[in-house]
Each structure stands twice: as structure tokens, then as C-alpha cells.
A and B are shown apart, each in its own frame.
Chain A
Amino acid sequence: MATPYLFIAPFYLLYVLFMLAPIGVALWLSLCEWVGLGTPHWVGLRNYHHLLTDGSFQRALGNTGVYVLVSVAVIVPAALLIAQALNVRGLRARDLWRTAYFVPMVVSPIVVALVFGLIFDRHFGLANAVLRALFGTGGVDWLGDPTMARVSICLVMVWRWTGYLTIFFLAGLQNVPRELYESASLDGAGRLRTFRAVTLPALRPVTAFVLVTSFIGAAQIFDEPYLLTGGGPSEATLSVAQFVYRAAFERQQFGYAAAAGVVLFAVVFTVSQLFNRLLGIGRPV
């Protein structure tokens, strides 16, 4: 009788200790003022009030919104297109392509940041050198100009995540029965109609999973902006996760950091639960 519970017990033990308890503590801390030493001092909702009017937090939210948007509206469709290309019948070296596209995901974020720091260097970087060779001008301030810095972070995200998500779509496409395509072409359906009538419905579960995963991933992005631009210039690339980190570990505002974390949690958790419900994922088979 107790057997199944024993099998899942280790997970729940860790879940309670290292997920639920911290969330509880976060909720409580978010209602306190605390510098990390001494006793936290109860301040009610004041931290949340401050967040509402904190320009940095609004910028962090906006930037994170951009990262989420790029992730969901650029990276996911790009991954789907690439997966389509890799699913062409009789394609040679399929293993080589998908493996190579996946490699950026294997690379440690610090290495990614070093590599792109090298490429995006304003004066001597490869990106500007290539632009100079092709167009004669290469003065793009990739990481120093607010807009360009945001674009650069997004480029790195595209580079890092696209091949990873492609794997999921490719597996989904390979799971679509060939007969469906054959009957569609017998019915005289064009390429676009086949895609809409056959491919997309068959890909529903994968698409749902990929959308939710990349939404959550982008919403809590930290490594790329922190390492590549430090959140700058003038907070143009600051993410919410870095806002939390900065408040707690650089400014000793633990309560304020906890409040920002709770806001992020509330948004991400609600949206992804809605997604899960709507798209019907996350039920045991």
C-alpha cells in the first residue's frame, strides 16, 4: 500500500525542504526589511509599494518581457522551421546537423559570455571587423549602446536556445505518421495547408511543452545579461533575476529582493499554469 509513496517520497522531501520552505520564507521576508544581519523588521507591504514605483524594477520587468517575447516569438518559430528542414525525407548527415546545432546549449554560460565578449568588442571584435570588411563601416557599439546591448543579448539567446528547442520539434515531427502527409497530398492540399492541417495539430503537445519551457527559461534569465553586460548600460539589459540578485547580494536589501522574487514567481507561475491548463500538459500518463 505504502510502496508508491515510498518511491516518490525522496522527491517530496527535497521539494518541501528546498522549494516550498524557501517560498514560504520568501513571502515572509518580502514583508520585512532586513540587511542580512540581526532580526528582520516587519514593514508590511512597503517593499511591494516601493517596487511599484522603482524605475529599475520597471526596466527589469520590461527587459525581461523583451527576452520572453524574443524567446517565444523568434526562437520557438525558428526552431520549428529548422526542425522542418531537418525532417526532410532522405536528408543526409541528420545526426551531424542536429548535434552541431545543439552544442551551444552544452557550453557553460561563462564561456558563452567570454566568446561573445570577444566577438562584440567595440574596437577589435570580430563582428565589427566583418562589418568593416563587408560594408566599410563597423562602428557598432554592440554592448555599450542601450538598444544594441539588448539586441546583442537577444542574439546570444537565439544562438544558445534555438538548436536545443529544435530537438523537441524534430522528435515531434518524426512522430507524425507519414500516411497523414500522403493523404493530404492526395487531397491536393498545398504545402501551407498541409502544415496547418497536419503538422501543427500533430505537434500540439511538443509545441505546448516548448512554449512553456522557453517562457519559464527566458523569464528567469540571469547568466547572459549579467555576464555579458552586467545588466547595463544604464540597466538596459537588467533582468528581473539580476534585479533580485543585486538587491540581495550587492545592496543587502534582502526583504526587497524577496519581494521582487515573489512578484516574478507570481507572474511566471500563474502564466505557466494557465498555459498548462489550456494546452493540457502536465498530467500523468
Chain B
Amino acid sequence: MNPMNPGGRLGLLARRCLLYATLAALLAAFTAPLLWALSGSFKPRGDIFGYPPRLLPDPATWHNYRTLLSDQPFGRWFLMSTVVALTATAVSVFVCALAGYGFAKFRFAGRRLLFGVMFSSLSIPFAVILVPLFVILVKTGLGSPWFALIVPWVAPAFGIFMMQQYIVQGVPDEVLEAARIDGCGEFRIFLRIVLPLLRPSLGALGVWTFLQSYNSFLWPLVLVSDSEQYTLPLGLQTLFRAENRQYDLVLAGAVLAVLPAVAVFVRLRRQLLEGLSTGAVKG
């Protein structure tokens, strides 16, 4: 079973050791760059590129964090990113659940075609929309970040696909039938019965949407020109340029920017990792 050792001559114990060694090496490769940046964020400017490189900061200092928070509008960037991402997440989860439910539990004329259209929108590269969408929004006066960073992105096809798969598996028809016999309206059924049954997968979709929005870079780069409305990625990028590519402040900013994302992910990882893959596994 162990693909790392196709020969199979070694004993089981040795094979296990090899497996764990490989997994540990991968763990190091995937996390070391981030830990290196974390360590760098506590170093004085001159030590970040010191040779030989020091794994741990010595002396360790909060100076970068203090300067960043006192001299830069980091709090505002953070607020902007978080509010945008949370709003987008709340709306998106609801819209995706609606559409997913429509496709999962109803048979209607054009269902196959409409589903195909929805699914095929996954293969529309953002680059083709970038320019015209920007032009349309600016010309129609909808270019405000509060609108443009949120509204166009609240119905991702991936989310609908994921919800649809979940509802097919997780919402029994009998429950819906029983509610209908009791005279419950369709929208009430969705709110009162379907949504509560979906809670774990809504969590999964929520984390996914939050990360998409919180980490997005190209669209805010194009759209937001007023530095008062910068999101975190834009703020960090501008700061890095303004500081003449010095790493001390931006590393502190990077750590502070990543912490919430990693915290949300680690907290909800089970739901996310299982939720992400349900759709794809069944195909």
C-alpha cells in the first residue's frame, strides 16, 4: 500500500519509518517558509537577512509589530478585508444553498441545461471579465468597493455545485414531503428544514468563501484606487513598495494578516476538508 516503497522488501516497521519520515519532510517543506517569515517578523531589520541565517530571532523584538500598528493604517486594512469577506460569505452561503437546493430537490424543464450553464461558468477565466466588468461597474456608478468587491462574487458556481451534492446526500426527501403535507410553504421549508440540516456544509462553504474573498488580490488591485479603502493585500503590497522592499514591517503585517485566516481554517478544517471533496468524489 505504501507507494514510497514499491520494492516491498523492507520489514513493515522500516516501511512505516520511511513513510513517517517522508510525511515529516513534507510537513517541513510546507510549513518552513511560513515559520521562517514568522521568525523574521520578530527580528530587527538588519537581522532579517543576516548571514549565517538564524532560525530564531535573537534578540527577539516586538518593534516591527509596534511600528506597523502605530505608523500604518493596518487596522483599517484589516477591517476593510474582514467586513468585505464576512458580508460576501454570509450572502454567498445563502445564495449557493438556494440554488443548490433548487437543483438537488426539484425536477423541472431545462434543469440539465441550466445546471450545465452554471457548471460551465467554472471554466470562465477571470481575465476575460476583468476589463469589461471594471468598465461596466465604473460607468454605471457601481464601482464602490463596498458593492464591487462583494456583489459580483456572491454566487460562485463551485459553491452551488458543492451545496447541490450535499443536499442530494444529506436532505432526505421524506422530510420535505412530510413538511409539504403539513402545508408548509416551499420557502419556509427551505429556511426551517433544509438550512438547519445543512449546517456543517454551510460551515465548509463559509470558510471557503471567506478565504476566497479575504485573499483575493487582482480584483481589489484593479478596483480600489482610494488608499482609504485598501484591503489587507493591497495595503501590504503598497507598504512593501513604499518601504523600498524592506521586509521588517511587512513581515509583521503578513503574520497578522494570515493569523485570522489560519485560525478560521484550523478551527473549521474538518468541515472544510470534507465539504470540499464531497462534490468531487461522487462526480
Contacts and interface: CB of A to CB of B under 8 A. Distances in A.
22 contacts: A5-B108, A10-B99, A14-B155, A22-B128, A25-B135, A26-B129, A102-B265, A108-B214, A115-B254, A167-B273, A170-B277, A181-B1, A206-B280, A209-B279, A213-B122, A220-B126, A241-B130, A245-B222, A258-B128, A261-B128, A262-B128, A282-B116
Contacts of A3: 102, 106, 186
Contacts of B104: 284-285
Nearest to A171: B277
Interface string A81-104: 110111111011001111111111
B208 to A, nearest CB: 10
A114 B37 contact: yes
A22 B132 contact: yes
A184 to B, nearest CB: 11
Nearest to A10: B95
Interface in A227-285: 227, 240-241, 244-245, 248-249, 254, 257-258, 260-262, 264-265, 268-269, 272-273, 276, 280-285
A248 B281 contact: no
A209 B123 CA distance: 12
A227 to B, nearest CB: 7
A191 B5 CA distance: 10
B166 to A, nearest CB: 11
Contacts of A66: none
Contacts of B278: 171
A5 B2 CA distance: 49
Given A103-B262, A107-B262, A245-B130, 7 more contacts: A18-B129, A87-B1, A159-B33, A167-B276, A168-B276, A276-B119, A276-B120
Nearest to A89: B1
SS of B interface (majority):
helix
Interface of B: 1-4, 6, 8, 19-20, 22-23, 26-27, 29-31, 33-34, 36-37, 40, 48-53, 95-96, 98-99, 101-104, 106, 108, 111-112, 114-136, 151-152, 154-155, 160, 164-165, 168, 186, 190, 211, 214-215, 217-218, 222, 232-233, 236-237, 240, 245, 247, 250-251, 254, 257-258, 261-262, 265-266, 269-270, 273-274, 276-283
A110 B233 contact: yes
Contacts of B1: 84, 87-89, 181, 191
Contacts of B130: 241, 244-245, 248, 261
Given A102-B269, A109-B215, A172 B27 contact: no
Contact of B217 (A175, A227, A264, A281): A227
Contacts, number: 323
B264 to A, nearest CB: 8
A70 interface: no
Given A118-B36, A265-B124, A19 B129 contact: yes
A125 B240 CA distance: 17
A219 interface: yes
Contacts of A181: 1
B1 to A, nearest CB: 5
A252 B52 CA distance: 46
A129 B262 contact: no
Contact of B131 (A96, A118, A170, A248): A248
Nearest to A281: B283
A210 interface: yes
A117 B243 CA distance: 15
